Amino acid sequence: MSLTDLLLPGRAGLAGRLPASLDDLHGPERGVIVLPRHLAPPGFREFDVSDGRLRRSLYGIVLTQGRRNDMARFVNARLLREDWPLLRPLLDPRIRRGCERRLGLGAAPAPAG
């Protein structure tokens, strides 16, 4: 990593932050995740991965604010694929398209109900 990359973390853009594939996402399938301070303020850092709503909030934060290593550490590929229909409409269009292209997540509509 160059000095420029360290001083301008957004320079690489979304492509520089996204993992190469879903296989790079090794987050837990259960338990409580405590996000680091650079991702969430105190009082809003703990997320139970077993709770779908909390997990989607966690994934939304990590996908929009996280670095590549944060995504690999906190996001589980199987659960992201399962949550994608509900999560995708909540994301910025650039992030949504980047995830769909880079990670191969489908653009399926959200399930009814």
Residues 57-66: tens digit of each pLDDT: 999 999 999 9
Query: In b/e form, how buried is each residue of 39-75, taking b as 16+ CB within 10 angstroms?
Result: bbeeeeeebebeeeeebbbbbbbbbeebeeebbbbbb
CB of 65 closer than 8 Å to CB of 39: yes
Give the pLDDT confidence score for residue 6 in this predicted structure. 40
Residue 13 pLDDT exceeds 70: yes
Give the pLDDT confidence score for residue 99 in this predicted structure. 93
Phi, psi (degrees; rounded to nearest 5) at 111: -65, 150
Whole-prediction pTM: 0.81
Mean pLDDT of the chain: 86
Residue 20 pLDDT exceeds 60: yes
Amino acid letter, residue 100: E
The 10 Å Cβ neighbour count of residue 105 is 20
**Tokens 């303020």, residue?**
41
Give the pLDDT confidence score for residue 43 in this predicted structure. 86
